[in-house]
Amino acid sequence: MMQKCHKKKAQFPLIALVFFVFIILSILYNERYIQEIHQNPPREGDDNGHQQSAIETVSFLNPIPILNGTLVQKYIVPLDKSSICSSTVEYNGRRAMWPIHMLEPAGQRFQEEGCDLFSGKWVFDSTSYPLYNESDCPFMSDQLACRKHGRPDSDYSYWRWQPHNCDMKRWNATEMWEKLRGKRLMFVGDSLNRGQWISMLCLLQSTVPANKRSITPQAQLTTFRAEEYNATIEFLWAPLLVESNSDDPVAHRVPERILRPDSIFRHASQWKHADILVFNTYLWWRQGPVKLLWSTQADGICEEIDGRRGMELAMEAWADWVDSNIDPLKKIVFFVTMSPTHLLKDEWEPGSEGNCYNEKYPITKENYWGSGSDLPTMQMVDKVLSKLSSKVIVLNITQLSEYRKDGHPTIYRKFWETLSPEKLLNPSSYSDCIHWCLPGVPDVWNELLFQFL
């Protein structure tokens, strides 16, 4: 009788051990599967036959900050263009409590010692500029190719930025490639940052033989590779920095933007391996209120918040990631300040109607500032960036771009929607005063980037 009891007791630890091993193997398999999805995402289709990648169709582990300062893993359903809110309430003031303590302000982030590269004037220079011809760049976008789409003047491409107290180093494509040798340069942001990325390709591609370069479009992430330099120049579409329902560059949502202010993993998993990062965000926050769907909110209830405060939450999440992941001795991070719009001609020419349409010369009034550059937003961004010490280099392109009311595509670009006869009779009504013609203003942004590398 005693022997039988002993046998039954001996079986229980064995069953428990088998069960424990099964649980461990399940967890390891899950984590490996998720890791493979992020490291080897399936290619997505083009504009005509877009396919969702696996990262958008499965739930995945996401680090979620919680109040006690520890990081937990939680399965959440990724946001996409079909995501909706079950209901919407007012924002209750909640903030993500990340287990990271940001550094105190230190050092100079905005300019080189003794030289403010961002304060100056535009000088007409038809000898040295443009740095490339629009028609010679095979990567030119129809959104930015103003001459191709009928712009009659070309003066906008001949302006050189001249800082007040110093000279910028002359652009040198070969030297830039040497700086990039063996590295990944990645632009992360919206269509304005994509314009800067295209500018960089146009500035650099001519020095690389056609059979030694390639471009791989994968919808959200597009990669240009130069074989002889073992270098890539990439663009990642992430207009709100954090996860949102607008993360598809083609099929995105503008009228109802939903974001997770405590979830940056989707984008960070792709940009974390880059050596040089160039971030921007601004334009998408100016389209009215946004909706917040926290990772811990399983019932689909969203909170509505104005664009600027939503941007601040996203900037804080991004800044926490930078602070905890960036070693400035190993990686270089740039943040590009807001690109101004020129929607109200009355601001630079009082009493006039219209916008940037038919403008042919820069604004010459020093320190001109229009409503296309939102000062409170600039102050908020500066507050967040000031806590990152020397981990981020700020490319303060706002003031110098403010002068360039002449540099926008206006009507001289491809429009994917059909324009009504009424609009066509009134060019100002559909003029693009947001993006920039190439060659043009974004080339100077890249010249400034070149100064800091």
H-helix segments, 205-292: 265-271
Contacts for 359 with CB less than 8 Å, ≥ 6 apart: 342, 345, 405, 406, 408, 410
- 320 classed as catalytic: no
Q: Which of 248, 323, 374, 432 is catalytic?
A: 432
What is the Cα–Cα distance from 326 to 339, expressed in whole angstroms? 25
Q: Out of 53, 83, 157, 191, which one is annotated catalytic?
A: 191
Those residues with Cβ within 8 angstroms of residue 17's Cβ, 6 or more apart along the chain or in another chain: none
Among candidates 334, 409, 331, which has minimal Cα distance to 145?
Answer: 409
C-alpha dihedral (278, 167, 356, 410), degrees to nearest 10: -60
* Distance of alpha carbon 203 from alpha carbon 201, whole angstroms: 5
User: Concatenated DSSP letters for 278-312?
Assistant: EE---GGGGSS-EEE--TT-TT-EEEEE-HHHHHH
Alpha-carbon gap, residue 33 to 270, rounded angstroms: 16
Please answer whether residues 309 and 368 qualify as being in contact, where contact means their C-beta atoms are separated by less than 8 angstroms. no
CA–CA dist 296, 318 (Å, integer):
19
Q: Is 435 a residue of the active site? A: yes
Question: Within a 10 A sphere around the Cβ of 178, how many other Cβ atoms?
Answer: 11
Known catalytic residue at 267: no
CA 384 to chain centroid, in Å, comes to 17
Residues written for the chain: 453
Q: At what angle do helices 191-204 and 441-452 cross, to 10 degrees?
A: 70
Among candidate residues 267, 342, 408, 435, the one labeled active-site is 435
Angstrom distances, CA of residue 120 to CA of 86, 164, 390, 401: 51, 5, 24, 11
Give me 248's structure tokens: 């598809």
Catalytic residues: 191, 432, 435
